Amino acid sequence: MVVCNWELAEARKKDALDRARVRGERPPAELLVEERGLHSSIETDVSNLLEGKTHSELEAFQLQIESQMKTGTAKVVEYWEAVLKRLDIYKAKACLREIHAKMLRKQLQRLVDQPLEDEDKMESDHGLRSGEDSEPELKDEETFSPEPTVKEETHEAEEEAGSFSPELLHGDENEEAIDPEEDRAILERKRMAVFEEQQRRMKEAMASKPTPSEDNFELKAMKVMGAMEEGDAVFGSGAEVNLDSQVYWWHDKYRPRKPKYFNRVHTGYEWNKYNQTHYDHDNPPPKIVQGYKFNIFYPDLVDKTKAPTYTIEKDGNSTETCIIRFHAGPPYEDIAFRIVNKEWEYSHKKGFKCTFERGILHVYFNFKRYRYRR
């Protein structure tokens, strides 16, 4: 639990820092105040100091540091306090390593003992059987004939010569043998028959359930978005970002393609105090972007149980714009658009929507409006 809690805290901290960096914002104040680790310049030294030690060695090292701090012999108190914080983590990791090594040794010993027990059992059974079979033979040999002694000598000579091969058993000559090439050809014919049957079933399924056309998807998207309002415009053709060097693990298996989309951007006037003073309805202020509506079509997803996702990325050095990237599984590549970099309104009443239904990913959002106060 100590290791898990530490790793979770570090992951949350890294995620918050990355999110702030992408959005061009300052990191949260609690992360700046909180001192979870050491300075980056001495992080490697502390890791090398504590890494590889056993649990008992770390406990002895902890007692040594605490005694030095109590007696006042420690020179840099802040450094050793930070090391003590890390000691709990490394002690927990060392304890886990020792438990793991102990379990591995038990498993290895179990694997080693099992074949030996089986071998001893087989040898004892074999010895019993050979003893029962050989006793009457030995009595007969001792009583009637010295010939078996000669056979034993010849048998030992054969063993010394290295003749350990089994005797060749002659079967029925009338039995028909199978030609390897003919057997391979029969197997290939059976495989082709199964493959053709699967192809036929797939074609029948595709013919019985035709894929919806792009026009049908656009009609569904328009129905969800509603009628065009004043300030709405079709968005995407000029704002699509070219994503170079996209390589996916499924490129060799599926033919990659970009998804189709049908997007809108909503613009309008912001009648704040400044614009009310300097503009009127006859001479309106410049329009600003107030929100977006994205409809990305994914009708042929291989894994329909995993919904597509979107991420916000930084647009180079620009703070006015950012990149929204949409990602789905095979056979679709990522697609991205350049949008205005403002804070979103995540309230459903203010128009936010993020759903994936019937092969369409809907992402609708509006920007927050800030009112001027005296």
User: pLDDT tens for residues 311-367?
Assistant: 999 888 888 889 999 988 888 888 889 898 999 988 888 889 999 988 889 999 998
User: Contacts for 77-83 with beta carbons within 8 Å, 24 or more apart?
Assistant: 79/42, 82/35, 82/37, 82/38, 82/46, 83/38, 83/46, 83/49, 83/50
Residue 19 has pLDDT above 70, yes or no: yes
Residue with tokens 């990237």: 325
d(C-alpha 164, C-alpha 155), whole Å: 11
Q: Are 331 and 250 in contact (CB under 8 A)?
A: yes
> What is the model's pLDDT at position 150?
47
Residue 181: its pLDDT value, please?
Answer: 87
**pLDDT, mean over the chain:** 76
Which pTM does this prediction carry? 0.42
**pLDDT tens per residue across span 158-180:** 555 556 667 666 666 666 677 88
Label residue 138 by pLDDT band (50, 70, 90).
very low
- In tens, the pLDDT along 218-266 reads 777 777 777 677 777 887 667 788 776 666 666 667 777 888 888 888 8
Q: Report how far residue 291's alpha carbon sits from residue 342's, in angstroms, rounded to the nearest whole number.
A: 10
pLDDT(287) > 80:
yes
Q: How many CB atoms lie within 10 A of CB 295?
A: 22
CA pair distance 53, 45, nearest whole angstrom: 14
